[in-house]
């Protein structure tokens, strides 16, 4: 018996993907030329699956800040802040984040995943109760496993179901902690934070909101769904990442609650992970400054998301519930999703293949994400390619021919 026998299902799935002609895990980018274009197998592809929402990965000021700090402070910190101390940049970035969100204080983690892992597992004690949305990110589920609290799932985006589940525990001791997200990463839907905040107030609970996919995207100042919904005062902790809108890596948590800094010696993922390299901290600081200086970035990515959503909706695809920078196309089954994804890559459009069990409701999805740097022409090109593949696979009907066009474009797809 092999220690890897327990992964037989995974092994079989990967073998099936490879047998189909293209395993998404084996895609190799020869080059990334910009936030919107790359090269795969010597061919140019449009990038619609990066979650690089504001397109800041090639921002000149961010790059220069990182290069300068790389030369000034070296390649890394080689240890945690508990062991190796806090660099000036770490403290400065935490102050920037706290000011950006209008909160008392902030903590910076080495990844967004660790931000959830550290915050939730440290906050939720033995007699406490965690109420998490059923469609929560893996980092939230793993944080719950690390905590000693009772974990209760409520139906996705259902504040009434949340209220009922909290009410059942009214006579039990311990804190009630609600965890939700701003934008959900698979279907692109937003949380009903006004209703959830009302439940939080009525039940005396604490509220954590993960704004990983909504920071820089929603709200007049880019502070996410909490700002857009007008409930920032009701949110006790905001968690986020630097790997989406800020174009780097790392994570954070901010709060107004007194005692928040105690988590620096209570959150194990914070205590025992090497802190972010100074060069990364510098690029994040520059990106955060850019968001504050140029609020039009958020408006552009929202407009681009709407353009992609409406174009695919008009073509006849079944999409997620609302337009956002994340636009998901629902597939009838896994096999169709894999084939669709393969054909799209051949067409020069890269997006994400999302399959169960990583998806809500065991859906097979093609997950696309736009950013502020996509042009209208690039979005329309992606819509046209997705539509051509959809017609080829029989998922949608071809549009009625335009009498003004004498020679309709032929399908440029690989042979079956």
Residues with a catalytic annotation lie at: 185, 213, 244
How many Cβ atoms sit within 10 Å of the Cβ of residue 14?
Answer: 15
Q: Are 389 and 347 in contact (CB under 8 A)?
A: yes
Extract the tokens encoding 197. Answer: 């905040």
Peptide bond into 63 cis (omega under 30): no
SS (H, E, C) the chain: CCCCHHHHHHHHHHHHHHHCCCCHHHCCEEEECCCCEEEECCEEEEECCCCCCCCHHHCHHHHHHHHHHHHHHCCCCCCCHHHHCCCHHHHHHHHHHHHHHCCCEEEEECCHHHHHHHHHHHHCCCCCEEEEECCCCHHHHHHHHHCCCEEEEECCCCHHHHHHHHHCCCCCCCCEEEEEECECCCCCCECCHHHHHHHHHHHCCEEEEECCCCCCCCCCCCCCHHHHHCCHHHCCEEEEECCCCCCCCCEEEEECCCCHHHHHHCCHHHHCCCCCCHHHHHHHHHHHHHHHHCCHHHHHHHHHHHHHHHHHHHHCCCECCCCCCEEEEEECCHHHHHHHHHHHHHHCEECEEECCCCCHHHCEEEEEECCCCCCHHHHHHHHHHHHHHHHHCCCCCCCCCCCCCCCCCCCCCCCC
Q: Please give the Cα distance from 376 to 185 (Å, whole number).
A: 23
Radius of gyration of the chain (CA): 22
Q: Which two tokens stand for residue 98?
A: 């706290």
CA distance 252 to 212: 10
């Amino acid at each position: 018996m092999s220690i890897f026998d327990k992964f037989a299902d995974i092994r079989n799935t990967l073998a099936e993907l490879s047998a189909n002609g293209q395993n998404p895990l084996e895609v190799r980018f020869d080059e990334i030329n910009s936030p919107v274009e790359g090269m795969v197998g010597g061919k140019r592809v449009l990038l619609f699956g990066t979650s690089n929402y504001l397109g800041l990965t090639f921002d000149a000021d961010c790059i220069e800040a990182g290069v300068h700090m790389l030369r000034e402070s070296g390649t890394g910190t080689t240890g945690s802040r508990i062991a190796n101390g806090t660099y000036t940049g770490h403290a400065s970035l935490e102050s920037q984040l706290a000011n950006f969100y209008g909160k008392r204080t902030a903590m910076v983690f080495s990844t967004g995943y660790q931000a959830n892992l550290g915050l939730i597992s440290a906050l939720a004690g033995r007699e406490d109760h965690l109420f998490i949305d059923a469609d929560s990110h893996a980092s939230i589920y793993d944080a719950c496993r690390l905590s000693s609290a009772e974990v209760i799932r409520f139906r996705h985006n259902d504040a009434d179901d949340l209220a009922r589940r909290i009410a059942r525990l009214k006579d039990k001791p311990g804190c009630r902690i609600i965890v939700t997200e701003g934008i959900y990463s698979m279907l692109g839907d937003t949380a009903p934070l006004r209703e959830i905040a009302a439940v939080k107030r009525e039940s005396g609970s604490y509220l954590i909101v993960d704004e990983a996919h909504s920071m820089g995207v929603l709200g007049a100042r880019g502070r996410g769904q909490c700002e857009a919904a007008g409930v920032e005062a009701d949110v006790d902790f905001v968690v986020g990442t630097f790997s989406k809108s800020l174009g780097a890596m790392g994570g954070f948590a901010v709060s107004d609650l007194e005692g928040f800094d105690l988590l620096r010696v209570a959150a194990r993922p914070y205590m025992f992970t090497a802190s972010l390299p100074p060069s990364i901290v510098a690029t994040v600081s520059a990106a955060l400054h850019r968001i504050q200086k140029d609020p039009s970035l958020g408006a552009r990515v929202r407009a681009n998301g709407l353009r992609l959503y409406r174009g695919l909706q008009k073509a006849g695809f079944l999409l997620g519930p609302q337009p956002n920078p994340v636009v998901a196309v629902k597939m009838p089954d896994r096999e169709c999703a894999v084939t669709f994804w393969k054909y799209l890559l051949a067409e020069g459009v890269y997006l994400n293949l999302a399959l169960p069990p990583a998806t809500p409701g065991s859906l097979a999805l093609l997950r696309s994400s736009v950013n502020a740097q996509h042009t209208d022409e690039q979005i329309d090109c992606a819509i046209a390619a997705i539509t051509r593949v959809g017609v080829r696979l029989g998922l949608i009907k071809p549009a009625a021919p335009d009498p003004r066009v004498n020679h309709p474009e032929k399908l440029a797809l690989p042979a079956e």
